[in-house]
Structure 1
């Protein structure tokens, strides 16, 4: 919640609604109602109201900004939205695993609480700040792959070369990402 307050401190008006709210819409009379959309609903299978993948993609194509969060269970709606925009989430219940770069205090033994070095951040101070002044970043979640042919993609944080994606509760037969 603290980061949401920071957003409003920067002059943005926040409107918070459930992902399945039947009054959801991004446009009215062909005009965008918002400049930015933040989706904190990783498991949503279907949005409410007039929101769907086509509406969000149109919003993006017309200059809207979208930030999406995900966990180890990604709903159909976010899988479809990612695919439509040149990204692919790994399968549900998988996590990024790194046996060399994990937090020894917070991790529960499966090496999925990743300590990412700031050098793995996008080199864009206007977006991520000065990486020399940033502490290591904790990450726990699903892998996301970007289509390299997509010129509009921004890979904010990349995994170390020692990381892979798999279900930490299963025996590894084949690595998917």
Structure 2
């Protein structure tokens, strides 16, 4: 009887679990935050409170918690992971490097913040995500030109940067006016990797070195090649943010005023809060999250979807695309969505028209080639989740009784045949009756 009650209770929870992890509710999600020290909950409370205020369930745990686990009974317990534990050498419980990578490979999101105490574990996670931190563990980013004016800052490691990526979908439509304060380590991205993007770059005068020792060799990382904050849009639509500054999220820098050296403009508040908040909105799919529904096709003048097309048929194709606004699904409007009519290679490539209400449509003629085709919509745009849809449909040739009885292009052949017949008839008459 007890086992039966437990089973009934477990079954009754299934709809709740399905709802929590449903992609139809991008903000109805759980976030796990792993910390080196629980004091970070208060020192970085502004950032965490902004996440909670947007409807996320945030769970704080120490990175070495012996009960730490990301999944149970094959189901992931969290939808996003925040690693604010740069110095951790080994996670607690069942979590390890492979576990974090599997979490991302399953389509979940990750925010990783490091500093000069970054362990090999944190560096390896970043490397697997396409980002390489400076190998010198004592090196941090220094800028003797673009540093923040401060009474206590003498080594110019608290730098100022306003070199943001030009993307409204990643950083929001409201421009970050004040520069961002940054204190941490440098990292680089592979220019050949199109999945990794620099969101915040250092100035041309920055370099990575140990501030307490003299340079004996040129620094390995210098100038605008230094990335301060990078993001990854994975092919499975998982999103990752990696930065070398844990302090960038702290209340101290979020509330601090900022003035760049040599600049008369002084801001009462840095751009850190707006920057990290907008960036977290993108990482957690509150912006730039697309879905495509109702892929339809039919012959012109009909409404039902056929099981097969005939060559040279006129057809109409449509699909609906929506974007998550943070609260509801809104029509996505763009002029670069295309459909392919594909068999080994695209025979037809058409740009879809939109009614500005989420519906994309076009019409075209089936090519004069029979076989098994696919309607394919492959949509990749900076900052947006990728769309990949396909629907298979066979195309047949004309049946023997569907061809035209007399083809206009064959009239010369028809004329030649009847001319030959008439000539033979005349020759026969002349041959038979001529003495």
Contact in 2 for aligned 1:166/1:172 (Cα 8 Å): yes
**How far apart, in 1, do the equivalents of 2:160 and 2:105 lie?**
34
2:111 pairs with 1:111: no
Cα distance in 1 between the residues matched to 2:98 and 2:87: 18
Q: Cα distance, 1:30 vs. partner? A: 2.3
Q: Is the 8 A contact 1:106 1:113 kept in 2?
A: no
Mapped partners of 2:151, 2:170: distance in 1: 27
Residue correspondences, number = 175
Q: Corresponding residue for 2:203?
A: 160
Please state if 1:72 is matched with 2:116. Answer: yes
Change (3 A) 1:32 1:166: same
SS of the equivalent of 1:17 reads: strand
Q: Is 1:52 aligned to residue 90 of structure 2?
A: no
* Structure number with larger C-alpha Rg: 2
Q: 1:138, 1:83 → 2: CA distance?
A: 24
Greater shift after overlay, 52-61 or 130-139? 130-139
Partner Cα separation in structure 1 for residue 151 and residue 118 of structure 2: 23
Residue 132 of structure 1 deviates from its aligned partner by 3.3
Question: Displacement, 1:66?
Answer: 0.6
Of the structure 1 ranges 31-40 and 148-157, higher mean CA displacement relative to structure 2 is found in: 148-157
- Once residues 30 and 106 of structure 1 are traced to their aligned partners in structure 2, the CA distance between those partners, rounded to angstroms, is 53
Q: Is the 8 A contact 1:107 1:113 kept in 2?
A: no
Other-structure match for 1:23: 67
Mind listing any 5+ residue stretches in structure 1 that lack a counterpart?
Answer: none
Superposed CA RMSD: 1.6
Contact map agreement 1:46 1:76 (CA 8 A) in 2? no
1:121 alignment counterpart: 164
Name the stretch that deviates more: 122-131 or 142-151: 122-131
- Per-residue deviation, 1:107: 5.8
CA spacing shift, 1:163–1:59, aligned 2, 3 Å: same
What TM-score comes out, normalization by structure 1 length?
Answer: 0.92
Tell me what 2:303 maps to: none
Q: Indicate whether 1:146 and 2:189 are aligned.
A: yes
Say if 1:150 and 1:55 are closer, same or farther in 2 by CA, change over 3 A: farther
Moved runs in structure 1, 4+ residues, more than 4 A? Answer: none
> 1:6 aligns to what?
50
Q: Matches of 1:75 and 1:145 in 2, distance apart?
A: 17
Secondary structure in 2 aligned to 1:156? Answer: strand
**Correspondence 1:85 to 2:114:** no
Instruction: Tell me the secondary structure at the aligned position of residue 39 of structure 1.
Output: strand
What residue in structure 2 maps to residue 100 of structure 1? 145
CA distance in 1, matches of 2:179, 2:198: 17
1:89 Cα deviation after fit: 1.1
Give 1:23 shift: 1.3
- The C-alpha deviation readout for 1:22-66, integer Å capped at 9, x for no partner, is 111112222221111001111111111111111111111111111
Q: Cα gap change, 1:137/1:3 in structure 2, threshold over 3 Å: closer, same or farther?
A: same
Partner secondary structure for residue 66 of structure 1: strand
Aligned to 1:4, the other structure's residue is in SS state helix
